[in-house]
Amino acid sequence: MKSAFRFLFQQYWNPYLVLALAGVLSALYFALTHTVWAVTGEFTRLGGDLLLLLGVDVTGWQYFQLVKLQDATWSRSDGWIVWGMFIGALIMVLLSNSFKIRLPQQRRRYVQGFVGGIIAGFGARMALGCNLAAFFTGVPQFSLHSWIFIVATGIGTFWGAKLTRQRWWKGRPSLMAGAARPSKVKNRVVQPWVGGALAIAWLLLVAGLFAAGYRMLALGALFGLAFGVLIERGQICFTSAFRDLFLVGRSLMARAIIIGMAISSVATLLAIYAYDLTPVTQVAAPSTLVGGILFGLGIVMASGCETGMMYRLMEGQVLFLPVFVGNIIGATLLAYAWDHLGVYGMLVEPGAKVSLLELAGPVGALIATLVMLGTLYALTLHTEKRYHRNFALKRTA
């Protein structure tokens, strides 16, 4: 019992295990709901909801028609996914007795996080997906736009890493520069009890939704809870997967994500043909490239992608509150720019939906996807080895 408790709550889980589970669960969620695990689409809808509350009529905006803005977040399965992820992450933080209010050492980080969140939110919605819908769950849907997004995000992250190395960005050096200052909590014994009560309450809510006939909402809440648990216990952050590879030559998270996508690709293909499902294919266009670069740049500036932001905010890291707000603002700005500023006509309309399944058939699409993932894995290892080789040469020079 003690060893199981220690594994569940006193240590983080192996990223390979977590991403493999996430890959299987995302394929299962697609099989049950015919949609994909995603978050920034709901961030955009939340922005639309807020504008409606402020008296701004957004019903004629083409982007909100595209993402189906209707009713409130509690009536959308994507809404329950998002709030379930927050709740799942918070439950695990509380059960592990690790919630602390943490403030960044430098106030500039609030501004940097806010601006980075805006850029990331704008870029993600321009590309019609973030690190989930256009990356982790996009590749297993065999949508070509996901591969453009991966390359573009890598480019944006590379330049973001260069930007955050600059002295003017880092600010005045100090012994704890950039580190978060934890609050002093004398007694946190109550946290696991609160976490347990919250878990029971959420599961009862899910059961109630099922009993009332709201199957899609219940599945969103249940899978959102599971995804939240996984991202917090595995400390899954797509920003660190790219950024750490360039900054410190560490590729563990990137390799785990690639393996997770490979597993999910096989599971998703089985679901497609077992249940005669139509994969979710997005437009491959200049907007995918531009949006991916902006997204990669923004997540490094903000120090976290959407998944990383969600569990870190639940850990008490206050920096990620402006990142969250910035994401919603950026996504909403893109919704405005879509037709009002001509983004659709300039960057999206020239593209087309391209499915590898239609181009190469099921076997060909799966082989091509696994080969591309294998190539990405090899490039990741090569980049890591080159970094450490160059680092060793600098030390001996």
| 103-139: pLDDT as tens digits | 998 899 999 999 999 999 999 999 988 888 888 999 9
In this prediction, residue 243 carries a pLDDT of 80
Structural domain contains residue 113: yes
Within a 10 A sphere around the Cβ of 304, how many other Cβ atoms? 28
Domain count for the chain, please give it: 1
Q: Residue 83 is which amino acid?
A: W
pLDDT surpasses 60 at 174? no
Q: 286 and 149 in contact (C-beta within 8 Å)?
A: no
Q: 120 and 299 in contact (C-beta within 8 Å)?
A: yes
Structural domain contains residue 4: no
Structural domain contains residue 36: yes
- List phi, psi (to 5°) of 104: -65, 150
Provide the residue range defining the domain that includes 82. Answer: 15-101+108-170+190-396
Mean pLDDT of the chain: 89
Structural domain contains residue 184: no
Structural domain contains residue 303: yes
Structural domain contains residue 335: yes
In this prediction, residue 395 carries a pLDDT of 72
Q: Kindly state the tokens that stand for 101.
A: 């209010």
Q: 59 and 48 in contact (C-beta within 8 Å)?
A: no
- pLDDT confidence of 296, banded at 50, 70, 90? very high
Structural domain contains residue 215: yes
Q: Residue 302 is which amino acid?
A: A
Structural domain contains residue 178: no
